[in-house]
Chains A and B, each alone.
Chain A
Amino acid sequence: MNVNQHTPMASPYGQPQPGYGQPGYAPLDGGYPAPYAPFNGPASAYQPGAPPQGPARGPPTSGATPVSAPQPYNQYSHSQGDMQNGPPPMTQAPPRPAASQQYNQGAVNLSGPQPSYPQHYGPQPSMQQVANQMTGMQITSGPPTPAGPGYAPPHSSHPPVNTAYSAAPPHSYTQAPPPASSPPTQPPPPSGPAASQQYYGGPTPPSQQPFNSSLPPTSQQQFASPAPPPPSSQQTFPPSSSYSGPAPTPGQAPAPPASQPQQSFPPTQPPFSSAPPPASHPAFVSGPPPPAQGSFPPRAAPLSSQPGSFPPPGPSPISMPSGQYPGPMPPQQQPPPSQPSPYHSGPPPPRAQMPPTSMAQSNHLPPGPQGPPGPLGPMQQPPSQPGMQGGYPPQQNGAFGQVRGPQPGYAGPYPGQPNYGAPATAPAPAPAAQKRLDPDSIPSPIQVIEDDKVKTTEPFTTGVRGQAPPLVTTNFQVKDQGNASPRFVRCTAYNMPCTADMAKQSQVPLAAVIKPLATLPPDETPPYLVDHGEGGPIRCNRCKAYMCPYMQFIEGGRRFQCGFCSCVTEVPPHYFQHLDHTGKRVDCYDRPELSLGSYEFMATVDYCKNNKIPQPPAFIFLIDVSYNAVKSGMVNIVCQELKTLLDYLPRENPEMDSVVRVGFVTYNKVLHFYNVKASLAQPQMLVVSDVSDMFVPLLDGFLVNVNESRLVIESLLDQIPEMFAETRETETVFGPVIQAGLEALKAADCSGKLFVFHSSLPIAEAPGKLKNREDKKLIGTDKEKSLFQPQVAFYNTLAKECVAQGCCVDLFLFPNQYVDVATLGVVPVSTGGSVYKYTYFQAQSDTERFLNDLRRDVQKLVGFDAVMRVRTSTGIRATDFFGSFFMSNTTDVELAGLDCDKAVTVEFKHDDKLSEETGALMQCAVLYTSCSGQRRLRVHNMAVNCCSQLADLYRNCETDTIINFLSKYAFRGLLSNPTKAVRDTLINQCAQILACYRKNCASPSSAGQLILPECMKLLPVYLNCVLKSDVLMPGADVSLDDRAYLRQLISGMDVSESHVFFYPRLLPLTKFESGSLPVAVRDSEERLSKGGLYILETGLHLFLWVGASAQQELLVSIFGTPSFSQIDPSLTSLPVLDNPFSQRLREIIESFRAQRSRYMKLMVVKQEDKSELIFRHFLVEDKSASGGASYVDFLCHMHKEIRQLLS
């Protein structure tokens, strides 16, 4: 299962490895430790907290493994093979074995399964138990990662196994395993299950049971002590138990559980134990100690004792978790004893089934066996019921558990398959493989991010062509030396293939994400403003590219040759300058347009609409005052806020007053315009009830200067809430509202922005009237796409008109029910506006978020009436654009409004060959009207290399940007294709990209190996996140509006936003090192420690997760209360407490918010609280409640796809 990352990667890892090498791993490290070691290192740290899962499971399975060891190995090997990166593999090949060993943990587990199969099955039936165990396992697993190594030892000990694996690998991946399993057939299938078990711990439990049965005394003992707690824990926690398992004793407990499994497995462990135990122990020790410390010791002890002490279940007793589990266990145990045989027998049959159906089936099988478990049944059920498993989804274990135990659960877990789409075919084997994968052994986003941070020490200079910038997650400074800063432009590939064939072969999307008006950090200079005088900017005669560093001056400076089209153009006399001996203009460094990647030109009147200097823009606030809007408090809040907010209208010169004029409209079924002319004593309201044919009832006095009309405006804003306080009007219009704003701008002959505050589906009789069409039945059908399409064509037409006028629309939604975002969002999305949605808006809890969004939205710099054109050098062409804009032809991106947060993704296609010498150039020019009414051109230049070797392409691309492109591409595809097709396409393309690499760039190796390019090793995990997003895979509770909202939202995201959106940032808060943020952990429940606090941000959401057994000091310092139960889950801001921890935490939260374009409301999630479901949704490496695959599963699936492509 080892995912070998690129060899190149290896280096980094390699280094770390040593570091990580740590004693624990050391043994395993043999060869492998290195790569993973690094992980382990960190992992170990985490593991303590998160450990529960991985390791935990591992052990249990491992327990089983002994028996099936060979098989497991095979599987492992497979997995390993899969994971191994092509190139590295070669070199690593030898080590791999070791690596495999490490992974072996998984393998071990697998192996465990076999022997344990019987057991597993036994256990399987008792999913609960399994789950519990799993949890326990998981817990251990947590450590396991680290433990992995620990386990590895066992594997390592099995080296032979490895060999076996090598052979087996193919099997595992290919269906081979099944055969292998045949004798073991069962094993394979079981392995499947086993694998799952390993992860899921499922196997372990069984094993435990069996073991327990066999070792009644020990187990009993263990249980005995734990027993008491278990029941409760089981019942209540079962679901959570898995969590609780890990969480409760996160660091601590996890270990124990692990230990338990081990204990239960003793048999298995023993074998391993000999080697592993020590290793694992050390690992644990090292890892666990820090976090779990107190508790750990016990576990550690048990663990350590495990080997020998399997029997010593003692540990289990020690470890609370175990105790809990034990509880369940006992019962199981009892049955198992009697049933062991049944299980065994059971397993086989299941296996038979298993193979075909894959994991799911295997799971099913368990049921069969469960028959016997019958007795266990109850037990199982409870756990299963907890549904927690369902909830657990994140945890594979849980999922599997469900599958197995609760037959009903099945469906659930399996959904995974559907996700894959095709997977069904080879499920059995693949799944097996998947299950075996150790989460720690596969590429870790966190690792990559951290590595990049470490690597980036120097400011990034843009002078070198084709140099990939640091990741978006890294803080770095940029020096513009001729190419645009990555803050403005990021490319998917910095080394483009020379030919279309290559591009097609690789399937790597060639795209750039351009954020033309991006805000730069204070230490970077904003683009210089260049004025070329009355003649306007100097441009190439043919392609009209603007003067830039790629223009080659010739003939002593009298002419220049365009870098894009090679056309030679005369240099106008006033622009002439001599050349130096290198052929550069003497004034090269005096002129931004000759030396920088980004700069602005002053546009002349020729660049203005109707050849008229534009009027300053206007902001119009359109406020829904229907019953719902008033009742929710929105109207009041908006009016209050506007009074102060109007002083912060955007301006370019902070010294000056903003020239932006403002206007106000309220509406329900009719529209109310306000005359706020300065000369009036009182504002005047003009009601337009003829909404069928909208017009602006007044001109003078509608759009006013804030300072001049301040008194009248304040009076108005005071009175609006009063006037409508008693309204009973519930119907609203929407189309006419935008028309009104548009007409007002037309009448004033200016561009501008509409801020629409809207609450409900516009059902009143008017153009653009909508009906409720939310129909969940359509989801999953071919008609699903229609739900993303606007309901009526009216808004498309309207959007077009808006764009023509330069009327940008920002929509703030406050819905209590379906409002059809897909339709309402058409205009904002087409005009470069934004949609903000506050579902079930409540003044008390949502005001802060709304106001911050509003403030930012009003204040941010914005350009109007913009046209963006991307020019490229001959050979490629910008062919497709994604984002919030409108296009009336194929080249010009028209943006009624363009703010500093909007990004446009541009796709390039070859139309000819590129040359390696000149590379590929692109120039993005945005003509816009600044908020002071000045017409300007912003130019961003970007040059990338070209390559004739695919390897170069793969060596120099950026996964985050690719994901940005792929997600936008896919989300747009939803409009015209069934969701499933979109998902399949994504998977397919991703598989092709990786397969192409494997085929063309990786050194030859076993087909069973998964070899990922270093730059793209995160592609699967990120892609999985895209596939699992609410848009592509909605959960039952995700409304159509939410999906449409997100779909639209993504279209305007830049890379850093899309990155965190798809792979949320999860920070442990257990300890802070002053000054720097704690290192993030992976988005998996396994990584959560019950005793810790975590903060998770997605760019839209911000959670503070509180473990059920978080330290009291921690709680006191954050919440001011020592009691977990007294924490108010409805908190939206943390109490201001005078202690460093609280301060630091609040600082962090603030800094997160500051980084994002939208304000994130803080949600406090208490472990095991209802709200945790929401939180878990963002643990994207886990199985999702809606059926999204876990990272591990997906990776296996990916691998299968790739292999299919290769064969």
Chain B
Amino acid sequence: MASYQEFIQQNEDRDGVRFSWNLWPSSRLEATRLVVPVACLFTPLKERPDLPPVQYEPVLCSRANCKAVLNPLCQVDFRAKIWACNFCFQRNPFPPSYAGISDVNQPAELMPQFSTIEYIVQRAPTAPLIFLYVVDTCLEEEDLQALKESLQMSLSLLPPNALVGLITFGRMVQVHELSCEGIAKSYVFRGTKDLSSKQIQELLGLTKPAASGQPGRPLAPQDAAASCRFLQPVHRVDMNLTDLLGELQRDPWPVPQGKRPLRSTGVALTVAVGLLEGTFPNTGARVMLFIGGPPTQGPGMVVGDELKNPIRSWHDIQKDNARHLKKATKYYEAMANRSAVNGHCIDIYACALDQTGLLEMKCLSNLTGGHIVMGDSFNTSLFKQTFQRVFSKDFNGDFRMAFGGVLEVKTSREVKVCGTIGPCVSLNSKGSCVSETEMGIGGTNQWKVCGLNPSTTLGIYFEVVNQHNAPVPQGGRGAVQFVTQYQHSSTQRRIRVTTIARNWADAQSQIQHIESSFDQEVAAVLMARLGVFRAESEEGPDVLRWLDRQLIRLCQKFGQFNKDDPTSFKLSESLSLYPQFMFHLRRSPFLQVFNNSPDESSYYRHHFVRQDLTQSLIMIQPILYSYSFHGPPEPVLLDSSSILPDRILLMDTFFQLVIYHGETIAQWRKAGYQEMAEYENFKQLLLAPLDDAQEILQTRFPMPRYVDTEHGGSQARFLLSKVNPSQTHNNSYAWGQEAGAPILTDDVSLQVFMDHLKKLAVSSST
């Protein structure tokens, strides 16, 4: 068997799953002693160009509370045409359509390489995708213009049969009717009044007298489509909408000196949610909210319109000084939940120099799987390209987005699921495989993920429930099945099933094996997600302490050392990077709020809990590449010592892409050597990081902030704040002429951190 490294890679490529432990301790007690829980990062819609979906429906276990899907791990009796469920051991006959099944004629789902397989549900009604633009008009002229252009552009990217709708808001909220000729018509709502869904539908004239005799039942989507004047197929209203957007004016209400414009974001969203709720429940829909500032009136207000009252900061929040915070958060949460129930996702595109209330509104996206994009202005390529990328297509020409996903996790008896951390909401399905212990969003084995894309990744946490003295479970392997039902962007209903199994190991006798099966990268991300999840509800320092304790315990468990002798401390290769990840995690904006606004923290956290492993790791520990005349570009330590005068550094923090020119390089560049033919090589050197950055920019969503700076430049702070402060103003001189750049900080360096860690790990007192 190949190394664990390869095994892990292979599993990830095939199933989109990476477990923290690839050998599972066979008892609950042992499992808890491992400190890092048995957990995985799961990417439900991981792109699998090599995996054509099958055109039939999955075969389910007939036991009512199991319903596991037939998979390669099942035992099959080809002669009797019977299969045994590997989760509940129920023996099921194959359905009639499987009559021809035999050893040599196996359906795909029984082949080992199809541990992940995708079914297309043929019977399901297909409903068009829905895109509802909710546009803030309290923007600067320039911003609004740019936004209008982006929106108009996006129309051409939408599938022709998709339904679009437009809601604009400022002081008032306008729902535009798109089907009308001549006079442009819109329904207006006051921005200060909360309305129930029913009221909204009444006010929009969407409630028809219960003529059908089936009151209470929502209209069938087709009927609704016909009756809803506000959501119309793109191909029909393309021109109308383009004109409409073209004529869109800035909010005409005067903004007195010293006031913010009145922005009714809360009501606008209520109306959007209410509109979809009434007309297209349980249909894939995307509400795209574009805001250029914080909500300043009505329900969901984040800050008053008096400029003299600044928007809340972390400081205010800690002092409990944020007047509107709780109310607004509660308001948006309620709305997010409603939206999630109906399977609609909400995107937030917030472009403003100041905060826009993402802290309060983040749940809208977090609970529904929508995007949050934060920028300085709609008139930046950051927004424009990011927005364009929302509509990117895969190799099949389908949008990289899916809707209304329901993820169900089934486990074999020895394992139970504790919870999930990711852009989802609980469906409160209490199955037999649900653990009492909750980690993340728990208490259920089904979650709704209203908006999905190929990189959407959830952290799923498990608990081994096998008792200590029980024998290693029968069959020797623990199995987990992920069943993801979703609406594909082609409007097909699909089901993707991933079934994985891991071997059991006795923690006492096989601790070495278990240790070597440790996947420290994913473990770091999983622990980080737990940390971030806690940080949402707990005080920052508490979270850090919890993280430290976990780290110390892990080191104690797996480190090799002599008691009370820090110098003797050693970690095996499979854990060697883990402390370093934790070091950078502690410094990351996900847990540190210093220097970040509440909005920024929310934004960072939002992305952190949904990106896949690679991106998550970049977020935890940014990547630093060095370009110099001394050799080809190479990754270098994220350390102040890497900052040298004759180097160009490229740092990718996921959110920022920083190109840093060393002092000498910067001088050369200023002198214009790159323009001279004889310094062609210098020109090449300058271009190299740009090309690499371009590559990253091309694929990253959301587009990172691109920073081109140099030694002494103000923007160099992006780099300096990230690197390990091995040299600071406190010790740089002591280090003599060692190269590098001292960082002006009191933060501890990795070295100091490690020293402390060792000390604590070996201390007998803990």
Do A and B bind? yes
- Give me the interface of A with B, judged by CB distance under 8 Å: 670, 672-674, 677, 680-690, 693, 695, 697-701, 715-716, 719, 722-723
Most buried by B among A674, A685, A716, A719: A685
A residues within 8 A CB of B177?
A: 687
CB distance from A386 to the nearest CB of B (A): 52
Q: Is B185 on the interface with A (CB-CB < 8 A)?
A: yes
For residue A671, give the distance in angstroms from its CB to the closest CB of chain B: 9
> Is B89's CB within 8 Å of the partner chain A?
no
Residues of A within 8 A of B186 (CB): 684-687
B183 contacts A684, CB within 8 Å?
Answer: yes
Instruction: Say yes or no: A690 contacts B247, CB within 8 Å.
Output: no
Tell which of A697, A699, A719, A722 touches B174, judged by Cβ atoms closer than 8 Å: A697
Q: A685, B190: Cβ atoms under 8 Å?
A: no
Q: In the complex, which residue of chain B has the Cβ closest to the Cβ of A684?
A: B184
Residue pair B188, A673 in contact (C-beta under 8 Å): yes
- Of B172, B183, B204, which is within 8 A of A682 by CB? B183
Measured CB to CB, the nearest residue on chain B to A729 is: B205
Secondary structure at the B interface, as helix, strand, loop or mixed, is mixed
Task: Check A688/B188 contact, CB under 8 A, given A698-B172, A699-B254.
Answer: yes
Pick the 4 closest A-B CB pairs, nearest first.
A700-B252, A697-B188, A689-B203, A685-B185
- Pick the contact of A687: B187, B193, B249 (CB < 8 A): B187
Chain A contacts for B252, CB-based, 8 A: 698-701
> What are the residues of chain A within 8 A of B205 when measuring CB–CB?
670, 689
Q: Assuming the A-B contacts A680-B247, A689-B204, A690-B193, are A697 and B185 also in contact, with contact meaning beta carbons closer than 8 angstroms in the complex?
A: no
**B174 and A686 within 8 A (CB):** yes
Q: Is B253 an interface residue (CB 8 A)?
A: yes
CA distance A207 to B205 in the complex (A): 76
Q: Are B247 and A699 in contact (CB under 8 A)?
A: no
Whether B188 pairs with A683 at a CB distance below 8 angstroms is: no
| Contact across chains for A695 and B172 when beta carbons are under 8 A apart | yes
Contacts of A687 in B (CB 8 A): 177, 185-188
Q: How far is the CA of A697 from the CA of B193 in the complex (A)?
A: 13
Interface residues of B in 191-217 (CB under 8 A from A): 193, 195, 199, 202-205
Shortest Cβ distance from A1092 into chain B, in angstroms?
A: 56
Tell me the smallest distance from the CB of B275 to a CB of chain A, in Å: 13
Task: Tell yes or no: B189 within 8 A of A by CB.
Answer: yes
Distance in angstroms from A437 CB to nearest chain B CB is 66
Q: CA–CA, A719 to B183, complex, Å?
A: 8
With A684-B186, A697-B188, A701-B252 known as contacts, the answer to whether A690 contacts B172 (CB < 8 A) is: no
A690-B174 in contact (CB<8A): no
Q: Does B182 contact A (CB under 8 A)?
A: yes
Measured CA separation A1170–B724 after assembly (Å): 105
Q: Chain A contacts of B199 at CB under 8 A?
A: 690
Residue of B whose beta carbon sits closest to that of A690: B203
Residues of A within 8 A of B182 (CB): 682, 715, 719, 722-723
Instruction: Return chain B residues, CB-CB under 8 Å to A695.
Output: 172, 190
Q: How many residues on B have C-beta within 8 angstroms of the other chain's C-beta atoms?
A: 24
Q: A690-B193, A693-B193 are in contact. Are A699 and B185 (CB under 8 A)?
A: no
Bound-state CA distance A686–B183 (Å) is: 10
Q: Which residue of A lies closest to B186 (CB)?
A: A686
Whether A693 touches B247, Cβ cut-off 8 Å, given contacts A682-B182, A719-B182, is no
A-B contact pairs, 6 of them (CB 8 A): A673-B188, A677-B249, A690-B190, A697-B172, A700-B252, A715-B182
Residues 236-274 of B, flagged 1 when their CB comes within 8 A of A and 0 if not, give: 000000000001010011100000000000000000000
Residues in A neighbouring B249, C-beta threshold 8 A = 677, 700-701
- CB B259 to nearest CB in A, in angstroms, measures 15
How far is B205's CA from A670's CA once the two chains are assembled, in angstroms? 10
Q: What residues on A are CB-neighbors of B185 within 8 Å?
A: 672, 684-687
Given contacts A690-B189, A695-B190, contact A682 B203 (CB under 8 A): no
The answer to whether B195 and A685 touch across the interface, beta carbons within 8 angstroms, is: no
Across the interface, which residues of A come within 8 angstroms of B189, CB to CB?
A: 688, 690
Alpha-carbon distance between A686 and B186 when the two chains are bound, in angstroms? 5
A685 touches B203 (CB 8 A): no
Q: Is the CB of A690 within 8 A of B183?
A: no
A650 to B434, CA, bound (A): 78
5 additional contacts, CB 8 Å, given A686-B187, A690-B203?
Answer: A686-B174, A686-B185, A698-B172, A698-B252, A700-B249
CA distance A690 to B190 in the complex (A): 8
Chain B hits for A715, CB < 8 A: 182
Q: Which residue of B172, B183, B202 contacts A716 across the interface (Cβ within 8 Å)?
A: B183
User: Considering only CB atoms, which chain B residue lies closest to A747 in the complex?
Assistant: B253
Q: Which residue of B lies closest to A685 (CB)?
A: B185
How far, in whole Å, are A686 and B205 apart by their CA atoms in the complex? Answer: 14
Residue of A nearest to B199 (CB): A690
Most chain B CB inside 10 Å of its own CB: which residue of A680, A683, A690, A723:
A690
**Contact for A693 among B187, B190, B204, B253, CB less than 8 A:** B190
Q: Report the Cα distance A670→B189, complex, angstroms.
A: 12
Contacts of B254 in A (CB 8 A): 699
Q: Which residue of B lies closest to A695 (CB)?
A: B190
Instruction: Select B184's contact among A677, A682, A688, A690, beta carbons within 8 Å.
Output: A682
Q: Could you tell me the distance in whole angstroms from the C-beta of B207 to the nearest C-beta in chain A? A: 11
Complex alpha-carbon distance, A701 and B174, angstroms: 15
Residue of B172, B182, B188, B189 contacting most chain A CB atoms (<10 Å): B188
Chain B residues with Cβ under 8 A from A722's Cβ? 182
Q: How far is the CB of B551 from chain A (nearest CB, A)?
A: 56
> Contacts A690-B190, A690-B203, A698-B252; is A685 near B183 (CB within 8 Å)?
yes
In the bound complex, residues from chain B placing their C-beta under 8 Å from that of A680 are 247
Cα–Cα, bound, A672→B185 (Å): 9
Q: Cα distance A689–B189 when bound, in Å?
A: 8
Which residues of B sit under 8 angstroms from A672, Cβ to Cβ?
185
Report the minimal beta-carbon distance from A475 to chain B, rounded to whole angstroms: 51
Determine the distance from Cα of A700 to Cα of B252 in the docked complex, in whole angstroms: 5
A1141 to chain B minimum Cβ distance, whole angstroms, is 51
Quick one: which of B183, B202, B252 has the most chain A CB within 10 A? B183
**In chain B, what residue has the closest Cβ to A689?**
B203
Residue of A nearest to B250 (CB): A700
Q: With a CB–CB cut-off of 8 A, which chain B residues contact A685?
A: 183-186
Instruction: For B205, give the chain A residue with the smallest CB separation.
Output: A689
Residues in chain B near residue A684, CB distance under 8 A = 183-186, 247
Write the nearest CB–CB distance from B144 to chain A, whole angstroms. 15
Are A683 and B183 also in contact (CB < 8 A) when A690-B195, A699-B253 are? yes
Contacts of A673 in B (CB 8 A): 188
Shortest CB-to-CB span from B321 to chain A, Å, is: 32
Cα A687 to Cα B254 with chains together (Å): 21
Write the chain A residue with the least CB distance to B177.
A687
Smallest CB gap from A677: residue in B: B249
Task: Determine how close the nearest CB of chain B comes to the CB of A741; give it in whole angstroms.
Answer: 16
Contact (Cβ within 8 A) A723 B183? yes
Residues of chain A with a CB closer than 8 A to B247's CB: 680-681, 684
- Compute how far the CA of A463 lies from the CA of B252 in the bound complex, rounded to whole angstroms: 57
Question: Considering the chains assembled together, what is the distance between the CA atoms of A687 and B253 in angstroms?
Answer: 17
Interface residues of B in 695-736 (CB under 8 A from A): none
> For A686, what are the chain B residues with a Cβ–Cβ distance below 8 Å?
174, 185-188
**CA of A673 to CA of B247 in the docked complex: distance in angstroms?**
17
Closest Cβ–Cβ distance, residue A718 to chain B (whole Å): 9
What residues of B have a CB within 8 angstroms of the CB of A693 in the complex?
190, 193
Q: In this complex, what residue of B is CB-closest to A718?
A: B182
Most-contacted residue by chain B among A670, A677, A683, A689 (CB, 10 A): A689
Q: Report B-chain residues with C-beta under 8 Å of the C-beta of A674.
A: 183
User: Cβ of A670: which chain B residues have Cβ within 8 Å of it?
Assistant: 203, 205
How far does the alpha carbon of A689 sit from the alpha carbon of B175 in the complex, in Å?
11
In the bound complex, how far is the Cα of B174 from the Cα of A687, in angstroms? 8
Q: Which residue of B lies closest to A698 (CB)?
A: B252
Give the CA-CA distance A239 to B193 in the complex, in Å: 66
Contacting residues, chain B, for A689 (C-beta < 8 A)? 187, 202-205
Instruction: Tell me the bound Cα distance from A673 to B185 in angstroms.
Output: 10
The smallest beta-carbon distance between A669 and chain B, in angstroms, is 9
CA–CA, A715 and B184, complex, Å: 12
Residues of A within 8 A of B202 (CB): 689
Residues of A within 8 A of B203 (CB): 670, 689-690
